[in-house]
Amino acid sequence: MNTTQRRVLIVDDEEDLTWTLNKKLSKDSDKFQIMTVNSGKEAMNVLSQVPVDLLISDVRMPEISGLELLVETKKKFPRTRVIIMTAYGSSDVQREANERGCFRYLEKPFEINDLREMILEALTEKKGFKGSVADFQLSDIIQLNCLGRITSSLQIKHKDQTGFIYFADGNIIHANTDSLEGENAFYHIMGWQGGEFSVRRNAKSPKETIAKGWQSLLLEAMRRIDEISEKNGEEKERDKRERISEIQKALVPISKSRGTDFVLVHNTAGFAITFLPETEDGNLEASDLGSHLSVFFEALNKFQQNLQTTAAMLLEIQFGNLIFVTARVPDKDAWVTVLGDPGINVGFVRLELRKAVKKISAFI
């Protein structure tokens, strides 16, 4: 056997199913090695003994549930990818989860060829459903509780907030935070970005405040998250435009002064933040100048280190008919570079640069 061959571990308490899958998928032994077990405990034993590239697990099993197996796998073997098999669920929810989560769902009954394609995709995909427990989406954890028909409570801590979601036989029946309960609390918790979770099996809910089906709750929560994300993206883009506008205002006196051809705000790698004038030629010049500036500032950094001195704050160089003046933006990885002809008023440019970099610092 090829020692670099990928290993796929399938765990399901239905022995007939694992036997069939082992037999059918063994035909692909040139692509991957199939191993099958019938309990979460056996799966953990295998995982601790040999590297496993892909774990395929049923969500509802005795002793160790699919959720518990998944959490332990991601804690101890974060590079192992995961596919969850389930006989319950909603195609809409699973499609959303497959796009968002750090693992994939496969609904029973399924065709062997569908599983084979999913395995090959998982083993070749460079990005996607792998990672540690910290990579879990909250929707992943909730769905696993529901698909496993588990009675439990889920505690979520986010910054200084704490929330609880209660499950009874896989149904979400109650949620609460310090100030909310019911559906409002559930949607609020789902909007938290990051945090820690813990599961208490067989924990009983103090009350029932939610009657809506868990699939509908999750889909609505995902819709709200997308809506918030889109709004935040628009706000960030608007904020960026406003900051660029303020930076450009600070550059106007320099760009309009006699002899100035071009003003560019950039980082030490030469990537432009903004520039004036905003013309088609200016775009080309910003792109070309950026690559040259990266080389210049790399050499400047080495020169500074050899001299064992502090970072340069303002430089002025004349190259024949080209005047080059550049000033560092205080406490930022940013510079303002001015190009001009010999008729440029260098004294005025230096004075305005000192003013501009102070103003620009607040917007970078």
Q: Is residue 351 part of a domain?
A: yes
Q: What is the rounded distance in angstroms from the CA atom of residue 13 to the CA atom of residue 38?
A: 4
Sheet with 314-319: strands ordered across:
272-276, 260-266, 335-340, 322-328, 314-319
Q: Is residue 198 part of a domain?
A: no
The length of the chain in residues reads: 364
- Whole-prediction pTM value? 0.52
Task: Kindly give, in sequence order, each residue whose CB lies less than 8 Å from that of residue 353, ignoring residues fewer than 6 positions away.
Answer: 254, 314, 325, 327, 336, 338
Tokens 């003013």 correspond to: 355
Domain range enclosing 298: 239-363
Average pLDDT on 227-243 reads 86
* Spatial separation of the C-alpha atoms in residues 267 and 280, rounded to whole Å: 21
Q: Which of 134, 161, 185 is the last residue of a domain?
A: 134
Amino acid letter, 47: L
With respect to residue 232, please indicate whether it lies within any of the assigned structural domains: no
List the CATH number of the domain containing 276: 3.30.450.30
Whether 177 is in a domain gets the answer: no
> Collapsing DSSP states into helix, strand and coil, what is residue 105?
strand
CA dist 312 and 14 (Å) reads: 70
Distant-in-sequence, close-in-space partners of 183: CB < 8 Å, separation ≥ 6: 175, 209, 210, 212, 217
pLDDT score for 306: 87
DSSP 161-194: EEEEEEEETTEEEEEE-SS-BTHHHHHHHHT--S
Rounded distance, CA 61 to CA 53, Å? 22
Residues 130, 2 share a domain: yes
Does some domain include residue 205?
no
Q: What percent of the chain stands above pLDDT 90?
A: 41
For the stretch 7-65, pLDDT in tens is 999 999 999 999 999 999 998 888 999 999 999 899 999 999 999 999 999 887 877 77
Cα torsion 178, 184, 185, 190: sign:
negative
Domain membership flag for residue 247: yes
Among 134, 160, 182, the domain-final residue is 134
Looking at residue 131, its pLDDT comes to 42
Give me the residue label for tokens 């200084």.
Answer: 160
Structural contact between residues 7 and 80, judged by C-beta atoms closer than 8 angstroms = no
Query: What's the pLDDT at 119?
Result: 92
Amino acid identity of residue 16, one-letter, is: D
On whether residue 180 sits in a domain, the answer given is no
Domain count, the chain: 2
Whether 86 has a pLDDT exceeding 70, the answer reads: yes
Model confidence over 160-181: pLDDT tens digits? 899 999 999 889 999 999 999 9
Q: Mean pLDDT over residues 230-237, rounded?
A: 84
pLDDT digits (tens, 9 = 90+) for 95-150: 655 554 556 778 888 889 989 998 998 888 654 344 444 556 788 788 878 877 77
Final residue belonging to a domain, choices 134, 161, 182: 134
Please give the distance of CA 181 from its chain centroid, rounded to a whole number. 29
